[in-house]
Amino acid sequence: MGKRIVEITQTALDDMEGIYDYIADVLLAAENAMGQYNRIADAILTLESNPERCPVFEVEPERSWRMRRMVIDNYLVCYIVDPDKVTVTDVLYGASNVHARLKARHKADPDI
């Protein structure tokens, strides 16, 4: 399979902005915030090739959504692989209750 288009949802972009804001404004580490943002963005771009390298969630409903997770430092990039594209749906802090947050976020749209 060749390269796929990587699509980042507005929710995932908002997540990344929130991560940046928290590190820059709450932790007062603007340089670290930019570094973290760039590491996440760079990792997302690698999904155009071999996005299947990261595992599918093992719990429902994420497993039935075929949602995969890529770990970047303390964060999880959540995404779905389709034949022609990869859709990044969420970028979450790994120590949070990721399953509960994903379930609540996508409750209204189970067909992600």
Beta strand 5-8 pairing with 85-93: parallel
CA 17 to chain centre: 12
pLDDT of res. 61: 86
**pTM of the predicted model, to two decimals?**
0.88
Q: Which CATH number does 5-105 carry?
A: 3.30.2310.20
| All structural domains of the chain with their residue ranges | 5-105
pLDDT of res. 44: 98
pLDDT of res. 34: 97
Rounded average pLDDT per 10-residue block, the chain, 112 residues:
91 97 96 97 97 94 92 96 96 83 74 57
